[in-house]
Structure 1
Amino acid sequence: MARSTRRPGHRPHPETPRGAPRRTPARTFLRTADGVPVDAVYEPGPADRDPSDLVFVVAHGFTGDADRPHVRRIAAAFARHGAVVTFSFRGHGASGGRSTVGDREVLDLAAAVAWARGFGHARVVTVGFSMGGSVVLRHAALYADDAAAGTDAVVSVSSPARWYYRGTAPMRRLHWLVMRPAGRLVGRYGLRTRIHHRDWDPVPLSPVAAAGRIAPTPLLIVHGDRDGYFPLDHPRMLAEAAGDHGELWLEPGMGHAENASDEALLHRIGDWAVARAG
């Protein structure tokens, strides 16, 4: 279960009984199951909506964080449809720990979802981009039976289908960044991302394997036909694994992840979430 610790300069979120949701913005550090402090932000959404209704939990891409302009833009778009929780994955922004590039980040997301439910929201939709897109898939598969930390619908944008993909130039550069000491220095000082030096052991459940285990939770897979990181075989593999409970949107002219997601797409995703999250 997520625990919150005080963030200097910000008002922490107190224990919030179910049935007594607040409409007050909040920012705090959550404590993950493995003890990592995760910076998290709650925004209550439109004043005319039932405060117990839908909350979006946004999982950013690699090198993002809760304060990055592209993450704030995503949050603002979803705030028209419900409350929003954003957070910084471990090794990113003000959060502690080091990035494991999609492995233990599932614990960060579980803590954020549990915190979101603590505000009284009956329905949670997780929305992930790129690395975050793979994390929301694994989270939905691994926490399907967890009433506190599980999700009611999943949106995965620009996610890989399989690990260790090096078929594009951007992914070859990313592997250098993650695997080489010089690359990790660039990540730390150039991209404000602290990357763990250890290899995965064991290798986590792949996104495509996770997609096959999410049913009956609704799943939306979104991918641009101009994605420079992951070509279209990735979303198609995910959709095939998901079967009838998954939907695939192939977006003409769209590139990769948050920066390529325009306002119209974000509002379509918001409408889908409102309709499908229970």
Structure 2
Amino acid sequence: MSSGPAGQFARSSVRPITRVQQSATLRTRDGVLIDALYEPGPDPDTDLVIVVAHGFTGDLDRPHVRRAAGVFAKAAAVITFSFRGHGASGGLSTVGDREVLDLAAAVEWARSIGHAHVVTVGFSMGGSVVLRHAALAGAAHGGRTEARVDGVVAVSAPARWFYRGTAPMRRLHWVVTRPAGRVVGRWGLRTRIHPHEWDPVPLSPVESVPLIAPTPLLIVHGDRDPYFPVDHPRMLAAAARGGAELWIEEGMGHAENAADDGLLGRIAEWATASWTSATAEGPASAEGEELPW
């Protein structure tokens, strides 16, 4: 697999002399081209980068994604990207399944730039993706892969698949599963959706969580989330068996649209703290390792 600008990058243990804002086209393991953007943050020498995984129907150019990236960039370098089927990326959205490959490409790019510590922050669908990605990358070879992560934040993530318990989720299922809904998705929501069902059904978020430890995990959810009620984050936290922090945010709705700058700033502080802890323990080497997918 190759990823990075124009689909390629050269792996090196030497940190680049300078880091500057740059856009890139990343190529996933299954050959999908992913639109990505790197912003160096306030300290060009920092080892920490935050990789942002947006929600369904988002992309790296959406105002709320750019706002979140701007807040995070006050604390660390930031990578934003558009999932497959979204924005300028290629392919079709699989609504959380193959998207783990998109995130893996972004994380690998971060390490190719020279960042030793990577924290992923995912919103809604992106929240389910960062959980499953961390579980899969951590389970392979003791987590010693180029796509491993050093901290995970899931914001407004579902605990289980196929949830239809709220009106917004029933509407979303119509968009994803019906031909007319996918037309609405393409032209009304700017999201190109794969027409086939999952086969096999991917590991669920609640099944993924126990596989993430000892990587630090933060679960954030609003108590007024119209998509997923608070039993979802509580299920995720319980599955972590004490290995996760849980923040239930009073008055907050759903995902990046509802996350105010104060909350985003606290998430960035948590990411920085997890990086500081990882630095004290020493970085793990990923040389020669391969992803499990």
- The alpha carbon displacement at 1:189 in A equals 0.6
Please, which of 4, 10, 13 is the counterpart of residue 18 of structure 1? 13
- In structure 1, the residue matched to 2:54 is 60
Q: 1:51: how far off? A: 2.3
How many residues in Structure 1 have an aligned counterpart in Structure 2?
271
Q: Of the candidates 237, 261, 265, which is equivalent to residue 259 of structure 2?
A: 261
Give the C-alpha shift of residue 212 in structure 1.
Answer: 1.2
Separation (CA, whole Å) in 2 of partners of 1:82 and 1:109: 18
One-letter identity of the residue aligned with 1:173: R
Write the distance in 1 (CA, Å) between the matches of 2:59 and 2:40.
19
The residue that corresponds to 2:39 in the other structure is 43
Contact (CA 8 Å) 1:51, 1:120: kept in 2 or not? Answer: no
Structure 1 segments unaligned to the other structure (5+ residues): 7-11
In 1: Cα distance, 2:61 partner to 2:97 partner: 22
1:29 pairs with 2:18: no
- 8 A Cα contact 2:225 2:254, kept in partner: yes
Q: How does 1:77-88 map to 2 (within 5 A)?
A: 77-88=71-82
Q: Deviations over 1:27-77 (max 9, x none)?
A: 11100000000001000000xx25241100000000000111111001000
How far apart in 1 are the matches of 2:213 and 2:118? 16
Q: Partners in 2 of 1:5 and 1:36 — Cα distance?
A: 14
Q: How does 1:80-159 map to 2 (within 5 A)?
A: 80-144=74-138, 145-159=143-157
Say if 2:9 and 2:112, in contact at 8 Å, map to a contact too.
Answer: no
TM-score by length of 1: 0.95
The answer for the alignment partner of 2:282 in structure 1 is none
- The Cα RMSD (Å) is 1.3
Tell me: CA distance 1:265–1:76, structure 2 relative to 1, closer, same or farther (3 Å): same
Identity %: 68
Query: What secondary structure, in the 3-state scheme, does the structure 1 residue paired with 2:95 have?
Result: coil
Indicate the residue corresponding to 1:9 in structure 2: none
1:197 CA drift (Å): 0.3
Task: Call closer, same or farther: CA 1:123–1:5 in 2, change over 3 Å.
Answer: closer
Q: Distance in 1 between matches of 2:183 and 2:173?
A: 13
CA distance in structure 2 between the partners assigned to 1:72 and 1:275 by the alignment:
23
1:224 alignment partner AA: G
- What corresponds to 1:4 in structure 2? 4
8 Å CA contact 2:5–2:23 kept in 1: the answer is no
**Change in 2 beyond 3 A, CA 1:222/1:182:** same
- Distance (whole Å) between structure 2 residues aligned to residue 251 and residue 235 of structure 1: 11
Encode CA deviations 1:109-136: one digit per residue, 9 max, x unaligned. 0000000111111110000000000000
**After superposition, where does 1:225-264 map in structure 2 within 5 Å?**
225-264=223-262
Q: 1:190: Cα distance to partner? A: 0.7
Q: CA deviation at 1:149?
A: 0.6
Q: Deviations over 1:195-239 (max 9, x none)?
A: 000000000000000011100000000000000000010000000
Which of 214, 217, 222 is the matching residue for 1:216?
Answer: 214
Letter in 1 for 2:185: G
